[in-house]
């Protein structure tokens, strides 16, 4: 409680020297659209009765009555709190952050409260509400955080965002979002298009085929592999030819995998120069070509 008092006291009478309800609300503009609304949120007083709290933007399991009572006492004393966050769709003001402040204002018999107003829909308010109380106010409990993650992943906006972007918005770790997305996620169609930002460039990425092969390639026959490898050795440089011989032995099953690995190690270490034609010479477990398993 002491920490909450200290945090709130910083705002005391700095923004407003008078009580919370000493000004009349500004007249609402009519027929306002996105083009007319300023990009910067407007902070002013709103009648508490005009704030919609039924937009599925409250994610606390239960309000904290002690916090509400303490806030109410501070409001009666004239302490200026941070504004609550609301989204105005031209008709209703949907709250996204500040439920306990609104409850405290009602308990303190105030008719108005300072609000930071953005133009947006109820859906916008819901998305914004998922970030509430992540870094300020009474922190979310573990159960509340899990509830927020699940709701956020089911929100339409999340379908086009990466796990990193969602994690940043919710102030949680990316592995946590990824784990929950795998649990509750959706059809591949829903998650197929993601909005990706690389530097200053933002674009849509089709994530449906990530991790998949480009096509359904049919496996090559043994004869085709022999022909391809022979052509590669024919056109390769002398330095690369021993490595192709090793690959040929492994792919075609002419030598055991342990011998092929040993030959690769010797090739990497540069000890293959003594015998370009037989990179298996000197390998452990064998002498010469006697243990090469040739196919009939």
| Domains in the chain with CATH codes | 1-129 (3.90.1530.10), 140-217 (no CATH), 219-296 (no CATH)
What per-residue confidence (pLDDT) applies to 243?
A: 86
What per-residue confidence (pLDDT) applies to 192?
A: 57
DSSP 8-state code for residue 120: -
What per-residue confidence (pLDDT) applies to 260?
A: 85
Per-residue pLDDT tens, the chain, 296 aa: give them.
444 444 444 444 443 444 444 444 444 444 444 444 556 789 999 999 999 999 999 888 777 899 999 999 999 999 999 999 999 999 999 999 999 999 999 999 999 999 999 999 999 999 999 988 766 666 777 888 888 888 999 999 888 889 999 999 988 899 999 988 888 764 444 455 666 666 666 666 666 555 555 555 556 677 888 888 888 888 888 888 888 888 888 888 888 888 888 888 888 887 544 444 566 665 554 444 434 343 34
Which residues are CB-contacts of 178 (< 8 A; sequence separation ≥ 6)? 163
What per-residue confidence (pLDDT) applies to 182?
A: 87
Smallest Cα–Cα separation from 192: which of 204, 207, 177, 182? 207
Smallest Cα–Cα separation from 65: which of 34, 24, 103, 108? 103
What per-residue confidence (pLDDT) applies to 227?
A: 83
Distance of CA 179 to the CA centre of its chain: 11
Residue 250 Cα distances to 217, 247, 254, 257, angstroms: 21, 5, 6, 6
Smallest Cα–Cα separation from 151: which of 186, 127, 174? 127
């Amino acid at each position: 409680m002491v920490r909450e008092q200290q945090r709130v006291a910083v705002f005391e009478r700095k923004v407003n020297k008078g009580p919370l309800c000493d000004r009349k609300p500004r007249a609402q503009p009519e027929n306002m659209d996105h083009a007319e609304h300023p990009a910067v949120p407007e902070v002013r007083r709103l009648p508490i009765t005009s704030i919609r709290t039924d937009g599925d933007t409250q994610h606390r399991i239960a309000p904290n009555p002690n916090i509400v009572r303490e806030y109410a006492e501070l409001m009666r004393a004239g302490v200026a709190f941070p504004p609550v966050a609301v989204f105005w769709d031209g008709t209703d003001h949907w709250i996204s952050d500040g439920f306990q402040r609104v409850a405290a204002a009602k308990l303190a018999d105030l008719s108005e409260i300072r609000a930071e107003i953005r133009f947006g829909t109820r859906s916008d308010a819901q998305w914004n509400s998922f970030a509430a109380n992540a870094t300020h106010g009474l922190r979310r409990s573990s159960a509340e955080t899990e509830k927020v993650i699940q709701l956020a992943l089911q929100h339409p906006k999340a379908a086009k965002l990466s796990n990193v972007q969602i994690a940043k918005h919710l102030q949680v770790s990316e592995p946590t979002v990824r784990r929950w997305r795998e649990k509750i996620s959706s059809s591949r169609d829903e998650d197929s298009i993601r909005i990706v930002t690389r530097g200053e460039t933002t674009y849509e990425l089709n994530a449906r085929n990530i991790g998949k092969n480009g096509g359904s390639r049919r496996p090559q026959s043994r004869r085709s592999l022999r022909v391809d490898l022979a052509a590669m050795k024919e056109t390769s440089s002398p330095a690369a030819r021993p490595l192709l011989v090793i690959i040929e032995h492994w792919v075609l099953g002419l030598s055991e995998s342990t011998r092929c690995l040993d030959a690769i190690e010797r090739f990497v270490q540069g000890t293959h120069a003594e015998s370009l034609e037989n990179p298996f010479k000197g390998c452990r477990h064998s002498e010469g070509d006697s243990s090469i398993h040739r196919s009939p």
